Chains A and B, each alone.
Chain A
Amino acid sequence: MPTAIAKPTLMALVAMSLLAAVIGGLLRAGIAWPALPDAAVIGQAAVAHAALMMCGFLGTVIAIERAVAIKRRSAFVAPAVSGLAGALMLGGHAEIAGWLWSFAGLVFVGVNVAVVMRQTAPHTVLLLAGALAWLIGNLAFAVGASGVAVLPWWFAFLVLTIAAERLEMTRLMRRHPVAQPSLHAILIAMVVAAGLSAADAAFGGLLYGAALAALAAWLGIFDIARRTALSHGLSRYMALCLLCGYAWLGIAGVAWAAMSLGLPTRDLALHALGLGFVFSMVMGHAPVILPAVARVKLLFGPWFYAPLALLHGSLVLRLLGGLADADLRTAGTYLNALALALFVMTVIGSAAAWRLREAAVRIHLTTSR
C-alpha cells in the first residue's frame, strides 16, 4: 500500500481503537452514551475495552514507534496488523482479532530481536522481553483465556517497555551498583507473577502487585525525572508526567495485591496502572513522539498541563474517592474520558499553533529581506 494511503489509514485505526476503548470504558462504568448510532458496535466497545486499549491503541502505537526507530518497512507489518485487529475486534470478531494480534506480536518480537542485534544492551533486551510479554498475552487472549490470565501479560508488556526506556535514561546518571540488578529482580518477579496468575490468582496477584510497587520505588529513587523536573519547559513537563505516573504505579501495586486477596480494588488496580501510570507516560512523551512518528510538529506550552491536571485530578476522584462513594467513581470516570479528549484537542491545537507560528516566521523573513 502506498505510504500516502497507509499512514492515514493506520492513524485512523489507532484513533478508532482509542475512541472505542474510551466509549467502552464509560459504558462499563455505567455511564449511558447519549447517542447510539450502532448499538451492537457500542456494546462491543464495552466488551472489548481492555483489548482495544492495550492492543488496538497502545500495542499499535508502540509497534509504530519501534518501526520508526528501526527504519525498516517490514517492521510496519506489526502495527498494521495490530491496527486491523482492533477494527475486527470492534466488529465482534474476537477470535480472528486475537490471532492477528498474536501474529503482530510475533512480528514485533522479530523487530525487537533486530534492535538487540543492532545494540545489545540491558534496555534493548528488556524491550524484547516486553515484546514477548505482548505475544504471550495475545496468544492467551486468542485461545480464550480469562482476563486474570491475559491482563498481567498485557500490562507486563507496557511496564517492561516503559522500564526499559527509563533504564536507558538512568545511564546518564552515576548509577548505584544495585540499580540494575534490583530492577532485573523486580521485573523477573513481575513476569513470573504474570505466568503464575493463571494458575494461582491469589499468589500470582500478590507477587505481581508487590513487583509493581517495588518498581515504583525503583523509579522514584533511580530515574532521572527527579533531576529533569528541576529544568524548564517541555523537559519539566515530561518529568512531572513521569513522577505522577510513578505515584500511581505504586498505588496500583498495592491495589493489585489487595485485589488478589479479595478486596474490592479491581478498578483502582487496573486504572491506576493503565490511566495513572501508562497514560501519564503517553501524555508526557506525545509532544516528542508524535513529531517523530506522525511528522506533525507541536508547539509546546503551559496548556499541556491542563489535560495532565485533569487526568490526575479525575483519577483521585474516581479511584480514591470512588472507594467510598460510587457517585464519585462515576464522576471521576467521566472526567477521565474528558481528560483524554482534552489532551487530543490540546495536541491538535498545538499542531495548528506550530503551523501558524512557522507561517508567521516565513512571512517575517520574506518581508524583512
Chain B
Amino acid sequence: MKPFPYAGPPELREPIVQALTRVVDPEVAMSIVDVGLVYGVTVTDHAAHVRVTMTSAACPVADLILEEVENELDRVLPQGCRLDVELCWEPAWTPEMMSERGKLFMGW
C-alpha cells in the first residue's frame, strides 16, 4: 500500500518516503508517515509541495515537526528545488489514516 499520494519524478518517490519516515513523533513512537500525517507530496520541475496535518489543533509541536520535515526533505530534493510544507486541517485526521505498520504497533 502506498504510504501517501505522490505525484512527481518516480526516482524521487522512495527518497522522499524515506526522508519523511525519519520524522518521528516521540509521543507515539512512530514516524509521521506511519501515523498518517502526510496527506500528499507533489514534486514539479522546481518545486515540492507537501501537505501535512496534526492529530490535534492544540498540538504545540506542530512547527517543530514541520521544520523537521523541511530539514529531512532538503537532504533528498534536488538543489534549487523550492520546498513548501503546508499544515492543513481538512480532512481531519482519523485513526484509519495510520499505516498498517502503525496500526500493528498500536495493537489494532
Contacts and interface: CB of A to CB of B under 8 A. Distances in A.
A334 B8 CA distance: 61
Contact of B26 (A115, A165, A168, A234): A234
Contacts of A234: 26
Interface stretch (A170-178, A199-207, A304-312, A325-333): A170-178
Chain B at the A interface: mostly helix, strand, loop or mixed? loop
Contacts of B60: 65-66, 68-69, 289, 292-293
Contact of B58 (A69, A231, A239): A69
A115 B62 CA distance: 14
Given A288-B26, A292-B63, A118 B107 contact: no
Interface size class of B (residues with CB under 8 A): 20 to 34
Chain A at the B interface: mostly helix, strand, loop or mixed? helix
Contacts of A65: 60
A68 B63 contact: yes
Interface in B86-108: 89, 92, 95, 98, 102, 105-108
Interface in A259-281: none
Contacts of A127: 58
Contacts of B95: 171-172
Contacts of B35: 172
Contact of B27 (A66, A115, A238): A238
Candidate in B59, B60, B89 with the most chain A CB atoms within 10 angstroms: B60
Interface string A84-104: 000000000000000000000
Interface string A121-161: 10110010000000000000000000000000000000000
A69 B64 contact: no
Interface string B51-65: 000011111111110
Candidate in A172, A224, A289 with the most chain B CB atoms within 10 angstroms: A172
Candidate in B24, B27, B63, B102 with the most chain A CB atoms within 10 angstroms: B27
A44 B67 CA distance: 43
B64 A169 contact: no
Contacts of B61: 288-289, 291-292
Candidate in B57, B58, B63, B106 with the most chain A CB atoms within 10 angstroms: B58
A325 to B, nearest CB: 39
Contacts of A121: 56, 92
B29 interface: yes
B26 A227 contact: no
A224 B56 CA distance: 16
B47 interface: no
A234 B24 CA distance: 11
A169 B27 contact: yes
Interface string B62-77: 1110000000000000
A243 B23 CA distance: 25
A291 B106 contact: no
A174 B61 CA distance: 24
A227 B102 CA distance: 12
7 contacts: A69-B62, A165-B56, A165-B58, A172-B98, A173-B106, A174-B106, A227-B105
Interface of A: 65-66, 68-70, 115, 118-119, 121, 123-124, 127, 164-165, 168-169, 171-174, 224, 227-228, 231, 233-236, 238-239, 287-289, 291-293
| 4 tightest Cβ-Cβ pairs between the two chains A and B | A235-B29, A119-B57, A231-B29, A118-B57
Given A168-B56, A235-B24, 8 more contacts: A69-B62, A119-B57, A172-B95, A173-B108, A231-B29, A288-B61, A291-B61, A292-B61
